[in-house]
Amino acid sequence: MRIEAADFAIHSETLLAVVLGALLATISGLVATQFEAHLRRREHEHDAALLFGELLSTLQILIERADETRGRGDPYGQITIRMLRAVRRELDIYDRNREALYDLRDADARVRLHSLMVRIGLGLEAVFDPHEALQSLAPELSDRAFELRGARDRGFGFLVDSAQEIDMLLRALSQPARRKLGARAE
């Protein structure tokens, strides 16, 4: 029996080295996987912040220009309505990419961003619905036409007021985007 104990003692250093190597390989594999997952989450958050930052910047410019064109000539002429349709198309882009919202870690920014997009959509509907109804009415100044014009103006005001929050959201998205966002970014 003494020979077997001596044989085990000789090979125990090798066994210890193999076990220690396996343990270190497992730990380093776990650390590498966690680090890679962290980097992937940061990259997704960065991409989402850039996407939504660009979207918000575009919306801000379009809404400001629509407000300017509304102040010239026919308040709801072709140019103003086309600008508002461009806002609608930007909202469609948001809808198609809304799942990227969950890549942003800041829950408050996610809620504010989604809430803003909903409010902008509601403002657009409040402009387009009365506008389309006015197109089907005779150009006379009936009570219905007066009511629709007032509803359209209130909807546009709501849209412009809602857009005031864009700068604050752009500042919140600048940190994960790792750059200053917005139409006024330098």
Predicted confidence (pLDDT) per residue in 56-110, tens digit:
999 999 999 999 999 888 888 899 999 999 999 999 999 999 999 999 999 999 9
Closest CA to 166 of 153, 150, 185, 146: 185
Cα 124 to chain centroid, rounded: 19
Hey, is 74 helix, strand or coil? Answer: coil
Complete domains list, the chain, with CATH? 45-177 (1.20.120)
Contact between 124 and 159 (Cβ < 8 Å)? yes
CB 49 within 8 A of CB 104: yes
Amino acid at 99: E
Is residue 185 over pLDDT 80? no
Higher pLDDT, residue 30 or 133? 30
Which pLDDT value is given to residue 1?
A: 46
Whole-number Cα distances in Å, 142 to 8, 80, 118, 134: 104, 24, 32, 11
Quickly count: other Cβ atoms within 10 Å of residue 136's Cβ: 6
Q: What angle do CA 155, 160, 164 make, to 5 degrees?
A: 140
Does the predicted TM-score (pTM) go above 0.95? no
Q: What is the pLDDT of residue 19?
A: 85
